[in-house]
Amino acid sequence: MEEKPKELKTPMTSFASINEDLVQNIVRRLPASSFASAARVSKSWNQICNQILSKPKFASAFSLNQDEKVALEEVVNKVLSEPIRPHFAIANVIGSEVDLSEKLDFLATKLGSQTPIVVSCASGIMGRDAVTGEHREVMLEEYWADGESNSCFGIILTVGFLPGLIVDAIPLLQPRKVHQLALVDEFVMNIRHYAASVSGWASPVGIILFGDDGADQKPVMEKLDHAMSRDTVIVGEERTQFLYQSGIRSRNDYGRSEYFPAAVALVFARDRDKPSGTGEIQFHAALSSGVSAIGPRYKAVSVRKIGSETGRTTLLTARREGEQEILDGQRILDDINNELVDQIGRPDLYIGVTEQRKCLIGSEKSRVLTFLVFHGVMGGDQEYLFADGDGIRTGDYFQFYHSDPTSALSSCSEVSKNFRKLKLDWSSRNYLQAGVSDNVCNQEVVGGFVFSCCGRGESFFERCNVDSSPFLDNFPGVPMAGVFCRGEIGRGFSSLDADEGPEERALHRCLHVYSTAYLLVSYTPAPPEH
């Protein structure tokens, strides 16, 4: 019987037989969802995925598509088009009658139910277009003016992966009953307890804060400034509408409780259990001021406070520093307007009040801090000067400030110089390390945020992209997201504001006007292990 020739067997190709470099090349190109699946294929593939995401990563994109669902899908698809494991997400929207809950639900579905997410309304957005990649600053009012209808919409989404840090959203709760104060002490202690539980240190690396537009953030920032280390950077938006998702489910049940969130803090704390070989993340902050001081200093003589449905107003008289004559509101404003006679246009006026206040948390030891607090000037008559808000006391000193595009432009240039100096310092350090060691760990910026006053922008400077320019000029390829907001929160600027004098450094400034607060996130890889 004739034997049949044996069939040649084609060897089967398995995942294990694929060259590791080829696998890494393939996996590196996967979108985030497929990347997450690839990490579960095998132990070796998981190690490859960890190598790809070995350092922090930001992804950001905006869309002005008038179909809100399409716009949301565009930004989500863009930020998840490359490998990333979301540790947090921030979405800022512009438009009228926007349903934030719909946006939050969609993002939670795409990014995970335990990913800390904040969705907020903004007066404008800045970043790169999800489709064209073009960088733009878009102000809501200017966008409406250029549009054919009032149904304008825009959204910017930022997702971050920060190995070595742990992130969560912590709310400031306020009773829904009228005239009940927010639980500020509890809020501050919750942040400290959370940071201590994950890092062993009560002060986090940084906080991004979003305040409700009906809540007063002044006492919040005063207590945070008192309670946190000077190294803790805080930026954010003072007055907005927002929704959030925390990684801890019990923090999300505010819709049906007797409380509402008066603010929410994205808290970035160091992970004391971070894997070996993980580098160090640092937060750096800078401020571009857009106001200039004008006129003499005054001392408040009589102070009255009145309240209404739209907020609280302070009525005051004052005398010039070193003089005895008591001046009414009209006299004071006449003096200031005479000094503004050469100003082009009609600038916004503020008084910057120097307030010495005793700060404490719970039963802890108190400390006296000196704050510079801005109040909008609402007018004056032959009796009183009218200032927005309250908190001014008899004996407080104040000075007038006015919005000033020239000063703001110069300040933006100074921020850009400081960013450039930061890069040069890093390069010099790396060069010196290279001379004595083979283990050079290059520090680099991996992402950033910009919080700019809604009074700034193209109409203020008469040119585009000024507020973005310090970031774009120094870190052109790095993801950046920004918003134009109503009240800029900023604390922890000393590291990049080298031109401040000792008196300015002694003043605590947390809530700003006509300013832009910048947050840079940098990363230094861990030295190689031998």
Please provide the DSSP assignment of 250-267 as one string. Answer: GGGTTTTSSEEEEEEEEE
Residue 63: closest CA among 83, 77, 42: 77
Contact criterion met (CB below 8 Å) for 106 and 80: no
Rounded CA-CA distance 51/224 in Å is 37
Q: State residue 297 phi and psi, 5-degree precision.
A: -80, 150
What tokens appear for 406 in the block?
Answer: 């020239």
Q: How many CA atoms lie within 13 A of 354 on its CB side?
A: 11
What is the pLDDT, as a whole number, of residue 149? 47
Q: Is 140 left (phi over 0), alpha (psi -120 to 50) or beta?
A: alpha
* Strand 242-245 with 233-240, pairing: unpaired
Rounded CA-CA distance 158/480 in Å is 8
What is the pLDDT, as a whole number, of residue 125? 96
**Bridge partners, residue 260, by sequence:** 174
Q: State residue 152 phi and psi, 5-degree precision.
A: -90, 150
Contact criterion met (CB below 8 Å) for 387 and 378: yes
User: Where in 64-179 does DSSP place strands (E)?
Assistant: 88-95, 117-121, 124-128, 135-139, 153-161, 165-175
What is the pLDDT, as a whole number, of residue 435? 52
Contact criterion met (CB below 8 Å) for 354 and 504: no
What is the pLDDT, as a whole number, of residue 8? 45
Rounded CA-CA distance 23/44 in Å is 10
Alpha helices by DSSP H, listed for 28-119, are: 32-38, 43-52, 68-79, 100-111
Cβ-Cβ contacts under 8 Å for 57 (sequence gap 6 or more): 84, 160, 161, 446, 447
Cβ-Cβ contacts under 8 Å for 21 (sequence gap 6 or more): none
CA of 302: how far to CAs of 320, 330, 372, 386, in Å? Answer: 13, 15, 20, 12
What is the pLDDT, as a whole number, of residue 379? 94
Residue type, 305: K
Residue 514: closest CA among 352, 313, 372, 348: 348
* Strand 88-95 with 57-63, pairing: unpaired
Contact criterion met (CB below 8 Å) for 55 and 446: yes
Rounded CA-CA distance 215/172 in Å is 10
Question: Dihedral of the CA atoms 418, 421, 427, 433 (nearest 10)?
Answer: -100
Query: pLDDT by residue for the chain (530 residues), tens digit each?
Result: 455 555 444 444 454 556 777 877 887 888 877 877 777 677 777 777 777 788 899 999 999 998 999 999 999 999 999 888 899 999 999 988 889 999 999 999 999 889 999 999 999 999 999 999 999 999 987 665 555 445 689 999 999 999 999 999 999 999 888 767 789 999 999 999 999 999 999 999 999 999 999 899 999 999 999 999 999 999 999 999 999 999 888 888 766 678 899 999 999 999 999 888 889 999 999 999 999 999 999 999 999 999 876 678 999 999 999 999 999 999 999 999 999 877 666 899 999 999 998 888 888 888 899 999 999 999 999 999 999 998 999 999 999 999 999 999 999 999 999 999 999 988 877 666 655 555 556 889 999 999 999 999 999 999 999 999 999 999 999 999 999 999 999 997 654 444 445 455 578 889 999 999 999 999 999 887 64
With H, G, I as helix, E, B as strand and everything else as coil, classify residue 152. Answer: coil
Contact criterion met (CB below 8 Å) for 422 and 496: yes
DSSP single-letter state for residue 56: -
What is the pLDDT, as a whole number, of residue 176? 84
